[in-house]
Amino acid sequence: MDETLDIQAVLEAAIAEGRQVLYEGNVADYIPELAKAAPGSLGGCLIKPDGTVYAAGDYDIPFTMQSISKTFSLILALQTAGFNRVFSKVGMEPTGDRFDSILQLELKDWHPFNPMINAGAIVVSSCIRAKDPFDEFLKLVRKLCANDSISMNERVYYSEKQSGTRNRAIAYILMNDHILDGEWEDVEDILDLYFRMCSVMVTAKDLAHYAMVLANDGIDPTTGEQIVTPDIVRVVKTLMLLCGMYDESGEYAVKVGLPSKSGVGGGICAVAPNGMGIGVFGPKLNKKGNSVGGEKVIQYLSSHLGLHMLSDGKPYKSIAF
Ligand code: GLU
C-alpha cells in the first residue's frame, strides 16, 4: 500500500459513499430484537499492525456479531477438537443457497457444506471441546478483539432463542442424521450455545482489531502474543474468502477481494493483505443479508487503498462497480 495515502480521509470518504446506498437496505427483523437498531447508523474502523487506529462514523456503537461468531467458534473448535474431527462433520465448499437453508441437507449431502452457514456453524458448535464452551468462546473473543468488556446482549439472546425456529429445525435434522458431535445430552444445549455466541456484542473497532490479528497470522502485533496458530488462521481466512458473505461471496470476492465475514446485526470484518484489519457496522442489510453500507465502505477502501488480495497493491478503479 502507498504509505503516503491519507487513510483517515479515505475512510471518511468511504463512509460518505456508504451513506448514499443506505436507502437500498433494511434492518433485519426476523429476530425481533434486531429490528430496534438505528437504521441510519454507519461506521468503520481500520487498524494498522503498528496499532494506529483510523475510525469514522458509528465505529463505537455495540451490536451483536451474529454470523461473525461463526469464525470465532470455528477457531475454538479447531483448537479443541482438531482439523480432522471438525472437517469430518462439515465441508469446505461454498454454497449458492441462503445462510439458513435446509435444502442442501436433504438434497445434496447430510453434512453441511461449510462452517459459515447456520447448519455448518451449529455442527461446529457441537464440536467444541470445553467444560464451559460459551465461557471459552467469550474469553477468545475478548482476547482477539483486545477488549475485556465484551459481553452478551441478553435481550437479543432471548429474542433469538424464542424466535429461532428455523435454526431449531436445522439442529434437529442434524441430530436425526447423526451429524452433531460431542457428548451433548440435549440438542437444545447446542442451540443455546449457538444463540449465545451470535448475541455477543462488539463494535466496528473490536472487529478491526480481530481482523488485524488474523491479518498477522494469529499474532496480535500490539502485544506480540500468538493467540491462534497460523495453520488455523489460514483455514479460517480461506473459508471467509470463499463463504463469508453468504451467497454473495463470489461477487464480493470479485469486487472487494478480502477474506471477510458479515452478520445480520450489520457488522463485517475484513482482513487486508498488508496486515491491516477492517471493521464496519451498518444495520441496513441487502437482500443477501449483508450490510449494504458496510459493503460499500469496504469496497471503497479496497479500491482506494489498493487492498484487493489479487491486485498489485496499488489503488485501482474497479471495472466491477
Ligand atoms: N443468529 C443469526 C441466525 O442464526 C445469525 C445469522 C447471520 O448473521 O447470518 O439466524
120 in contact with ligand 1, CB cutoff 6 A: no
Cell of 225: 502474543
Q: How high is the pLDDT of residue 24?
A: 95
- In this structure, which residue's CA is closest to atom 2 in ligand 1? 66
pLDDT for 108: 65
CB 73, CB 124: distance < 8 Å? yes
Whole-angstrom CA distances from 121 to 71, 115, 290 are 9, 5, 18
Residue 224, pLDDT score: 97
Biggest CA–CA distance in the chain, Å, is: 58
Which amino acid residue places its CA nearest to atom 6 of ligand 1? 67
Instruction: Specify the pLDDT at position 104.
Output: 74
Number of Cα atoms under 13 Å in the Cβ half of residue 165: 3
Pocket flag, ligand 1, residue 291 (CB < 6 Å)? no
> Using a 6 Å cutoff on CB, does residue 125 contact ligand 1?
no
Nearest CA owner, ligand 1 atom 7: 67
264 has catalytic annotation: yes
Does any ligand 1 atom lie closer than 6 A to the CB of residue 33?
no
Ligand-binding site membership of 176 (annotated): no
| Mutate-to-test residue for ligand 1 from 31, 64, 67, highest number of ligand atoms within 8 A of CB | 67
Q: Which atom of ligand 1 lies closest to the CA of 289?
A: 9
Verify whether residue 70 is a known catalytic residue: yes
- Residue 206: exposed, middle, or buried by beta-carbon count in 10 A (0-12, 13-18, 19+)? buried
CB atoms within 10 A of CB 173: 16
CA of 31 to the centre of ligand 1 (A): 9
Establish whether 286 is an annotated binding residue.
no
Extract the C-alpha cell encoding 104. 442442501
Q: What is the pLDDT of residue 320?
A: 64
- C-alpha dihedral, 29 to 34 to 38 to 44, nearest 10°: -110
Distance (Å) from CA 218 to ligand 1 centroid: 25
pLDDT at 136: 98
Please check if 160 is assigned to a binding site: yes
Which position has the grid cell 443457497? 97
State in Å: Cα 38 to ligand 1 middle: 19
DSSP track, 68-132: GHHHHHHHHHHHHH-HHHHTTTS-----SS-TT--HHHHHT-SS-S-TTSHHHHHHHHHH---SS
- Determine the pLDDT at residue 4: 79
pLDDT given for residue 130 in this prediction: 96
Would you say 59 is a known binding-site residue? no
pLDDT at 61: 97
290 annotated as ligand-binding: no
Domains, the chain, ranges and CATH?
7-65+202-305 (3.40.710.10), 67-198 (3.40.710.10)
Please name every residue paired with 317 in a beta bridge, in sequence order, or none if there are none: none
Check the annotation: does 264 bind a ligand: yes
| DSSP letter string, 26-59 | EE--SSGGGGGS-TT--EEEEE-TT--EEEEEST
259 φ, ψ to 5°? -55, 125
Beta bridge partners of 26: 285
User: What pLDDT score does 150 carry?
Assistant: 98
Q: Given 67, 69, 101, 126, which residue is catalytic? A: 67
Which of the following is catalytic: 90, 156, 264, 271? 264
pLDDT at 107: 67
User: From the CA of 198, how far away is ligand 1's center (Å)?
Assistant: 7
Residue 167 Cβ < 6 Å to ligand 1: yes
- Average confidence (pLDDT) per 10 residues, the chain, 321 residues: 85 97 94 94 97 97 98 98 96 83 72 93 97 97 98 97 94 92 91 98 98 98 97 98 95 96 98 96 96 98 95 82 57
Report pTM. 0.96
What single DSSP character describes residue 313?
S
Tell me how far apart the alpha carbons of residues 24 and 282 are, in angstroms, rounded to a whole number: 12
pLDDT of residue 183: 83
Task: For residue 221, report the distance from its CA to the centre of ligand 1, in Å.
Answer: 31
Which letter does DSSP use for residue 228 in this model? S
- Distance set, CA 311 to CA 273, 276, 308 (Å): 10, 16, 5
